Structure 1
Amino acid sequence: MSRGPGAGAFVAGRAPGARQKQTINDRLYLLLRRLLAPLRRAPWWLKVTLVYAAARLVSYGIFLGSAWHADDSPWGGRQPGYLTFINRWDAGWYERIFNNGYPQAIPRDPDGAAYANEWAFYPAFPLLVRGLAAITGWGWPAAGAMMATVAGLAAMLMIYLLFRNFAAPANALWGVAFCAFFPVSAILQVPYAESLGLFFLAAALHLLVRGKYWAAMPVVFLLCVSRPAGVPFAAVVALHLALRWRRRHQEPFPARDVIAAVVLTAFSAVMAFAWMLTAWWVTGERNAYTDTETAWRGGGGLVLFKPWFEAGVDLVGPLWGPVLPVLLVVIAALCFNARAARRIGPELLGWSGMYLLYLLAVLHPQSSTFRMLLPMFPLALAAVFLSPARAYRWCVLAMFTLLQIVWVEWLWQWVAITTGQTWPP
């Protein structure tokens, strides 16, 4: 049976006359490639800066949109400006430290229970903001937001260098993009200590991975006066030391490095308790820090792991409630054992696991828990390793952006609930 003259074109997958014809999408794609071509040759730090700037502009727009329909709150009236809108919650506590420092005694109610107070917040961020304010003459809102935003850029630059120990430049840059657009990444431009702590954490992990133990010590000190990360970091240093000792026959581990690694492990363990000891020394109260931390959960003292089981019972009842934390640990273990996760190296994977265990031990689960997950940023590189497909990676960024809108709208607004206050970010 003969075929018509146009049949071959259809068999080849092209309609008659469609050859050499570019669609609008093709032309737009080629135009975009030409516009972005110079960036391919740009230095890595410029690429990271542009990714971070784009992410922060997105967060800025989300904050403005949320502030536009915000109601009255304890921090300002309706439709506050950008700096007023982001200067709430923990930013207010940092502002108190910026202005007045720390109290000499823990404020307590007539029954002796501690009130929420400044000792729950670490000093590095407000002290640096005070220095910036002294130089520029800015007040807390502008100086705090600028310090947080710049520290966030420093964190992304350091995260890229850290990721380059395990990934090619393109994958490391995608890992930075996942961090910069993460659903809670808007906190990196808010007067909180998250961005500063993230920078010191990434720097400390980078120096640890590279075996620069002495250089890591001042960075660990700054990390431990920025955010409460000393306990899991000391654990990951001990893990690194054990792994290097185990591989000493295949990979040289000279005595000077052994000594430096042991000293770093001990120093990290001491710094894990440095702020707690400082609060004790200043106030004269041994439980000053722990009483302050538990004040946000209604007192009762610090009992490891217990709050997660209580939260599980509150969510699904006494039968299945205690199973929820165990299920979380099982899911985390399966994720950490995935091939993509193992590619980020034992130190980064170990940090993520140790930090999660630390949160399970000491954190009272609440809406702020989402923000507390940001130090597990090494898993962003594992997410990049899941697939090289650009469609997957762009979908992740789109999903993160949508979830960021949800996070800001849900937690940054002041909406009274039955307890008389809203959920904090």
Structure 2
Amino acid sequence: MNETAQESLNTAVWGRIAAAGNRAARWPWWLQVGGLYVAARLVSACIFMAAALHQGVNPWFPPRPDYWNFINIWDARWYGEALSNGYPTQLPVDEAGNVKENAWAFYPLFPLLGRSLSGLTGAAPAASLTVIAMLSGLAASLVIYRLFRLKSAHRTALWGSVFFSVFPVAPVLQVPYAESLNLLLLAAALLMVMRRRYLWAIPVVLLMCLSRPTGVPFAAMAGLLLLWRLYPYLRLRFQGLPRAGGPVAEEVPHNAAELWSLTGLTAAAGLGALLWPAIAWATTGDVQAYTKTETVWRGQDLVPFKPWFDTGIQLFGPGLGLLAPFVFVAAFALLMMSRPVAALGAELRLWCICYTGYLLVFLHPQTSTFRMLLPLFPLALSAALVSRSRAYRGTVVVMFLLLQLVWVVWLWAWAQLPGGGDYPP
């Protein structure tokens, strides 16, 4: 093929791609968002299948498993245990009296829905959990797009949802983990908060609190938002100042009922955050049943902030290691003050701040930390707001997909460490 013919072929191919893109741009928004999310999950499925071909000896199945076996490992086994056998009435302990790993660390909404689906359809527990995770992830992408549309135009919101769909740890949205269900409920709650439908958000938040431990940061976010809205309301009410225009006026509640509704949401989120630990206490008779179980995986008692300094010292030595958490906090503060993040508005910025603060207080940083960053999905819209350049946005997508390869091969696939075990995803 001569050079002229090659150029004509390239022009024809790119012309067809552009024409297909123009046709897709005329689809309804939900079809665009859903189609791109499904395409992202198919890419992730290919990554899983390629990694499975190289999977060696592991604790769960023979080498080179099929796709369905490969995605049903790690915490998926614990959710399956909770679905099939429920939660223990007595905490299991070893010979020394220390609490052993058990199902109380895994919140009940996801396995409860799986049990219901298995009962209705007769499907295997693993299949039911996988279906729920996949459908929840798809629904979450649609709700997230609607959330982003409150702060941006269609194309930017669409890119933000694409960034969410291809995020480096996004493959977890199609495995039997509760992340996709939790993100669906979290995004729905945030959407209602941004629309100031606080009372409607309460049942969603309570369900969210039973899917994963996001109740504490949500309650903190709602409480800070209440204070943020209360000050200008009181100032207008008691000083008799006129309601001005501009962004400040947007933060002023329309009436006292709106403030009381937000107060109710704050209280409900706080109670919801305590609901699962209270259920564990009532069932086992041990007031620390949930906390003891949760800390088994970290191998030490819960001491706020300390694990971050311990990890910093482990990675950077005793000098720089003590400074590392402060450097991280300073960098995050600068990020929160940047123009793309400021464009998210008070609610989404407060959520990102409160959730990150929650991780700093309670999280033991490890390889699972990457997965726990998914609730910071509003930053995907900020990433799309950085530039409208197709080259920039396309590069972000490609880099995220390459990092999916890293995440699946490094953390999801099992490769025994010299000391035994493997890094968890």
Tell me the TM-score normalized by structure 2. 0.93
Cα 1:223–1:252 change in 2 (3 A) is closer
Separation in 2 of the partners of 1:245 and 1:44? 36
Matched, 1:258 2:243: no
Structure 2 runs not aligned, ≥5 long: 237-242, 244-251
Alignment partner, residue 90 of structure 1: 75
Q: How does 1:290-305 map to 2 (within 5 A)?
A: 290-299=291-300, 301-305=301-305
Q: Amino acid of the residue matched to residue 111 of structure 1?
A: A
Q: How does 1:317-328 map to 2 (within 5 A)?
A: 317-328=317-328
Separation in 2 of the partners of 1:396 and 1:407? 16
Does the CA-based 8 Å contact 1:233-1:351 persist in structure 2? Answer: yes
Q: CA deviation at 1:320?
A: 1.4
SS in 1 for 2:319: coil
What is the aligned-residue RMSD (CA, Å)? 1.5
Does the CA-based 8 Å contact 1:239-1:347 persist in structure 2? Answer: no
Alignment partner, residue 63 of structure 2: 78
Between structures 1 and 2, the one with greater helix share: 2
Moved more, 23-32 or 74-83: 23-32
Matched, 1:54 2:55: no
Alignment partner, residue 225 of structure 2: 240
Q: CA deviation at 1:24?
A: 4.7
Separation in 1 of the partners of 2:269 and 2:130? 29
Q: Amino acid of the residue matched to residue 265 of structure 1?
A: T
Q: Deviations over 1:179-222 (max 9, x none)?
A: 00000000000000000000000000000111001100000001
Matched, 1:315 2:300: no
Separation in 2 of the partners of 1:316 and 1:77? 38
Does the CA-based 8 Å contact 2:253-2:259 persist in structure 1? Answer: no
Q: Deviations over 1:335-371 (max 9, x none)?
A: 1111011001111111111111111111111110000
Q: CA deviation at 1:25?
A: 4.3
SS in 2 for 1:28: helix
Moved more, 161-170 or 183-192: 161-170
Q: CA deviation at 1:271?
A: 0.9
Q: CA deviation at 1:116?
A: 1.1
Q: Amino acid of the residue matched to residue 311 of structure 1?
A: T
Alignment partner, residue 277 of structure 2: 276
For the pair shown, which has the larger CA radius of gyration, 1 or 2? Answer: 1
Alignment partner, residue 332 of structure 2: 332
SS in 2 for 1:319: helix
Q: Percent identity?
A: 47
Separation in 1 of the partners of 2:418 and 2:284? 35
Separation in 2 of the partners of 1:36 and 1:267? 45
Q: How does 1:390-409 map to 2 (within 5 A)?
A: 390-409=390-409
Structure 1 runs not aligned, ≥5 long: 1-17
Q: How does 1:159-238 map to 2 (within 5 A)?
A: 159-238=144-223
Separation in 2 of the partners of 1:40 and 1:417? 48
SS in 2 for 1:116: coil
How many residues align structurally? Answer: 405
SS in 1 for 2:22: helix
Matched, 1:348 2:348: yes
Does the CA-based 8 Å contact 2:313-2:322 persist in structure 1? Answer: yes
Does the CA-based 8 Å contact 1:84-1:141 persist in structure 2? Answer: no
Q: CA deviation at 1:253?
A: 2.7
